[in-house]
Structure 1
Amino acid sequence: MLVRSRRLLSSTRSSTRFISRSAKKKEEVEKIPKRKGEYIYGVAPCLATLIAKRRKIYTLLMKKDLKVNNRDLKQVTIEKIYAHARQHDTKIHYIGKEKLERISGKNAHQGIAMDVEPLEFKSFREDLYKISKEQQASLPVRLALDGIHDPMNFGAILRCAYYLGVDKVVTGKNNCLLSPVVSKASAGVMELMPVYSVNNIIAFLQESSVHGWEVVGTSDPKVFDQTANATVHSCSEYHLQHPTVIVIGNEGYGVSEAIKRECSVMLSIPPYRHLPSTFDSLNVAVATGIVLHSLQVNKSRT
């Protein structure tokens, strides 16, 4: 009876292991193959990459001795990633924590990484300026990013945009590139939501305006009196009247003066207390989320 109990205990322990020993014999342990693309890391980006199928996947890299706990969402998601990789004959390698940290630049890898083909911006086609009858009724919102240089901010903006129903995100040439850091900061949204790039963001705004899109800038409340050719609104009070392009400016200096001249409206987020000069603004991704949420709430009330 004691022997049987020990066997049952041993069986239970072995069943909690994420990968069986027999499976590991078929897949390489420790050896990291030569990188073919770039490494993305983290549970959400890896799963989103597999779902979106926008990149070629070369290798799945997993930390040795990963275990599944059904009460742990992260581990259950890793199980999905592993099953998907096996189903599509993706090469799987098991490596130590130190090697994963080196691959991820010591960022939070959650025990998983992938060697994948780099993801590129999409070109903004001429036909995408046109407004359909459905768009005229639904009043879509697009984001134009003017000088976002921090990949963490870029990723957080993409996450907000996807969650809050943005139609398209368009960047100029003075923004940071799509990268593993952006993908991680976006919780994988970069893999799911195409990001468009244009050579000249001012020309893009002008062409959008010609086709009926309203161009709306964002700004610090205290600099409104310096803004020409635009009416000023608190984002909580503004109601969309047309399909709209919202311009989000640089983390430091905001929307450039040249772009402000293309805007018919400027939106701000007024503070609810007196702010010292050392703290007078919000993080650009936080501000983007507040503006987008305010626009969606106000649109639902009309």
Structure 2
Amino acid sequence: MKNFKQKNKNFIKENEENENIVFGRNPVIETIKSGRNIEKLFVLKEPEGSLKMIISMAREKGFVISEVDRKKLDELSSGQNNQGVVAIVSPYEYASIDDILNYAKQKGEDPFVIILDEIEDPHNMGSIIRSANVCGAHGVIVPKRRTALITATVAKASAGAIEHTKIAKVTNINQTLRELKEKGLWIIGTDMNGDTCYKTNLKGPVGIVVGSEGKGISRLVKDNCDIVVSIPVKGEINSLNASVAAGIIMYEVLRQRSI
């Protein structure tokens, strides 16, 4: 029994880290809309509601569709809530830093970039990407190591936002921060001991650095920031969830830009 449980854990871990799987109705719909190639679409037998719309959209694109039972879908999604649809997609295409900055230039806007420093929880990463898209950020930068992969879990947590948000993967965050500063961006770190974000000028070309849930941003990364900001808190708990904190600061950037 112990060996079976260990094998099952390994299977789930392997599938959670698979960047070629997307599940859930909204994430799959956004994947189809984005133009990303779907190698095969698995849909619950006797589809109803929005599943019929997904099948229609997939047929228009010429994707291969297979109607399967619930057991098969659960296997593909590692037992997670797949809402009756799982897509096997081509590998995620990461953007470059120049792609992100050029996107801002095309929109005639000051660059607004989110940099993630070791965000390992896929739900947090997905939520941050979703907020970045909603708040008008031009892209998200993640490190190649010590970070969550762009998996089905991230896609679902982002509500499909990963298909509409430019994400760049870099080898060295500190080197990237220096590069962004050379290109004119003001790098703003997030930390409990920083200046209050509501009293800080967040306008202009900015890069917001978000640290991991437990450790926050690392010392070297903090040293490479131009300024560090915080969110006022009042209560027995003195810190917020990483994705919640990131969302609050991103909305403050959006608010100041809208004034």
Same fold at TM > 0.5: yes
User: Residues 171 and 89 from structure 1, CA distance in 2 versus in 1: closer, same or farther, beyond 3 angstroms?
Assistant: same
**Are 2:242 and 1:284 equivalent residues in the alignment?**
yes
* Partner in structure 2 of residue 42 of structure 1: 24
Deviations 1:249-302 (A, max 9, x none): 1111001111111112111111123x2xxx33111111111111112112222x
- The structure 2 residue matched to 1:168, chosen from 122, 139, 155, is 139
1:142 alignment partner, SS class: strand
The separation in 2 between residues aligned to 1:297 and 1:160, in whole angstroms, is: 14
Tell me if the contact between 2:20 and 2:92 (Cα under 8 Å) persists in the aligned partners: no
User: Residues 107 and 131 from structure 1, CA distance in 2 versus in 1: closer, same or farther, beyond 3 angstroms?
Assistant: closer
Tell me if the contact between 2:21 and 2:151 (Cα under 8 Å) persists in the aligned partners: no
Tell me if the contact between 2:132 and 2:247 (Cα under 8 Å) persists in the aligned partners: yes
> Match of 2:232, as an amino acid?
P
User: Residues 213 and 129 from structure 1, CA distance in 2 versus in 1: closer, same or farther, beyond 3 angstroms?
Assistant: farther
**Are 2:66 and 1:93 equivalent residues in the alignment?**
yes
- The structure 1 residue matched to 2:92, chosen from 119, 122, 131, is 119
The separation in 1 between residues aligned to 2:103 and 2:78, in whole angstroms, is: 42
* Partner in structure 2 of residue 32 of structure 1: none
Q: Which protein has the larger Cα radius of gyration, Structure 1 or Structure 2?
A: 1
* Partner in structure 1 of residue 223 of structure 2: 261
The separation in 2 between residues aligned to 1:100 and 1:39, in whole angstroms, is: 11
* Partner in structure 2 of residue 249 of structure 1: 211
The separation in 2 between residues aligned to 1:126 and 1:40, in whole angstroms, is: 24
The separation in 2 between residues aligned to 1:130 and 1:190, in whole angstroms, is: 16
How far did residue 126 of structure 1 move?
8.8
Structure 2: which 5+ runs fail to align?
1-18
- The structure 1 residue matched to 2:130, chosen from 134, 142, 159, is 159
How far did residue 123 of structure 1 move?
3.1
Tell me if the contact between 2:105 and 2:111 (Cα under 8 Å) persists in the aligned partners: no
Question: How big is the alpha-carbon RMSD for the aligned residues of Structure 1 and Structure 2?
Answer: 2.3
**Are 2:252 and 1:294 equivalent residues in the alignment?**
yes
> Match of 1:288, as an amino acid?
A
* Partner in structure 2 of residue 206 of structure 1: 178
TM-score (norm 1): 0.74
2:119 alignment partner, SS class: coil
> Match of 1:89, as an amino acid?
G
Q: How does 1:211-222 map to 2 (within 5 A)?
A: 211-220=183-192
> Match of 2:48, as an amino acid?
K
2:212 alignment partner, SS class: coil
Deviations 1:165-222 (A, max 9, x none): 10111112232221111111111111221210111111111111122110100002xx
The separation in 2 between residues aligned to 1:66 and 1:126, in whole angstroms, is: 39
1:196 alignment partner, SS class: strand
Tell me if the contact between 1:41 and 1:180 (Cα under 8 Å) persists in the aligned partners: yes
User: Residues 260 and 129 from structure 1, CA distance in 2 versus in 1: closer, same or farther, beyond 3 angstroms?
Assistant: farther
User: Residues 263 and 255 from structure 1, CA distance in 2 versus in 1: closer, same or farther, beyond 3 angstroms?
Assistant: same
Tell me if the contact between 1:129 and 1:207 (Cα under 8 Å) persists in the aligned partners: no
Structure 1: which 5+ runs fail to align?
1-36, 69-74, 225-231
* Partner in structure 1 of residue 43 of structure 2: 62
> Match of 1:290, as an amino acid?
I
Percent of aligned pairs sharing the same letter? 31
Tell me if the contact between 2:209 and 2:217 (Cα under 8 Å) persists in the aligned partners: yes
